[in-house]
Structure 1
Amino acid sequence: MLEAYYVISRGRQYVGMNGVPAPLSVRDLSDYLAAYGERYSREEFDAVIFALDDDFRKRWAEQQESSMTK
């Protein structure tokens, strides 16, 4: 699933002046599954990919916050 997350996140949208990473959408995941097929249940796949994405965006925000305080 890490490989799937990597592929999906390469198409990520960024918004605003600071280029804030937008959350992945159900459509992003569906597009990936249409191209590569399903190896896991959809519920499990969505849960893992969205958890990885939440973690990535949380870490990104923390890095931005710490760079602004320096």
Structure 2
Amino acid sequence: MSWVASEIIEAYYVIGRGRQFVGASCSPMPISVGMISEYLSVHQSSIDRREFDAVIFAIDDEFRAKWALEADKPPKK
């Protein structure tokens, strides 16, 4: 794995730990720019901020889409 991929995955993991969940189904709220800014205020990154944000948001979109698909499945018996 490249250092860039490793940095992004680690950042997503840390940022996601601050995620809020809402509603009766405890749906995950999207990661915000503020959450990313808070992370970057403590952790240095050599990745361009626009690219960093874009990748974190793309990973989060995939996570939330997969979560929604799983939440719509009927419970296993």
Measured against the shorter chain, the TM-score band is over 0.9
Displacement, 1:38? 2.2
- Give the alignment's Cα RMSD to 1 decimal: 1.5
**Amino acid of the residue matched to residue 4 of structure 1?**
A
Q: Secondary structure at the match of 1:63?
A: helix
Partner of 2:60: 53
For 1:8 and 1:57, the matched residues in 2 are separated by 14
Deviation at 1:66, TM superposition (A): 1.4
Amino acid at match of 1:9: G
List runs of 5+ in structure 2 lacking aligned partners.
1-7
Select which of 37, 49, 55 maps to 1:42: 49
Paired residues, what number?
70
Deviation at 1:67, TM superposition (A): 3.0
Partner SS for 1:30: helix
TM-score by length of 1: 0.92
Structure 2 matches for 1:12-31, cutoff 5 A? Answer: 12-31=19-38
Pick the structure with greater CA Rg.
Answer: 2
Q: Which string of whole-angstrom CA distances, capped at 9 and with x for unpartnered residues, describes residues 1-37 of structure 1?
A: 0010000001100011110000000000000000102
CA distance in structure 2 between the partners assigned to 1:58 and 1:37 by the alignment: 29
